[in-house]
A = this chain, B = another copy of it.
Amino acid sequence: MEEKQDFIQNLSYDSVIFGFNGTQLKILILEYHNTGLFALPGGFVQMDENLEDAVKNGVRQRTGIQDIYLEQFYTFGGLKRSDPAAMDKILTQNNLDKEQYSWMMGRFISIGYYALINYEDVTPKPDELSDSINWYPIDELPKLMMDHEEMVERALRVLRHNLDRKLVGTNLLPHKFTMKQLQQVYEAVLGVGLRRTTFQRKMLSLDILVRHEKLFQGKAHKAPYLYSFK
């Protein structure tokens, strides 16, 4: 870890970082060094740091993206969520002094945030304890440690819920996009197929889109319009 750290004890955050590759909704999962343990990127909050800043900085470090869209989705406060055995394994495999890091073995209340980012802009970076950080489609996740699977479920539930109310598309798509791309985002998030004509009519009626020039993709059919959010 860096310089002097004065973390709030027994408190952490975990982040579900969503990206959209054009077809699938994916999240970033990291694998701890030599443990076979997969987890969500997370961290701790400094005594003199805003909670949201801590999360934002953590997500910045994992993604390389500066401008992060965050939504808090739930706080996990059960006693049973801690897993000292797994923590011990992580410390061991990283050759960390268990005395010094004994605070990591305790009970944590963890605040869950999800981030929406433009998949193309990301260059994932593992954290200090991890070997790798990779994109996984939300329906092909590895087994996650502790209650991180429940976290993903909850994050997804809240994301689905926010789909209409908070411009989810803005953050998962490039600035300009076709109606088909937008529909694919909705389908990936909701996990269901949508009717093309109904979707288009609905989106246009909401009066949240601006229509731009056409996108000629060199395909042998009519070119779609590009849109952006108002």
Contacts and interface: CB of A to CB of B under 8 A. Distances in A.
Given A9-B9, A11-B11, A75 B47 contact: no
Interface stretch (A49-57, A84-92, A178-186, A196-204): A49-57
Interface size class on chain A is: 20 to 34
Nearest to A108: B8
Contact of A109 (B48, B51, B79): B51
Interface string A28-58: 0000000000000000010111111000000
Interface in A63-83: 72, 74-75, 77-79
A55 to B, nearest CB: 9
Given A72-B74, A74-B72, A10 B47 contact: yes
Interface string A162-196: 00000000000000000000000000000000000
Q: How many chain copies?
A: 2
Interface string A3-40: 00000111100000000000000000000000000000
A78 B48 CA distance: 10
A111 interface: yes
Given A45-B77, A72-B74, 13 more contacts: A9-B9, A9-B10, A10-B11, A11-B109, A45-B109, A48-B79, A48-B107, A49-B79, A50-B77, A51-B77, A72-B75, A75-B75, A109-B111
Interface of A: 8-11, 45, 47-52, 72, 74-75, 77-79, 106-107, 109, 111
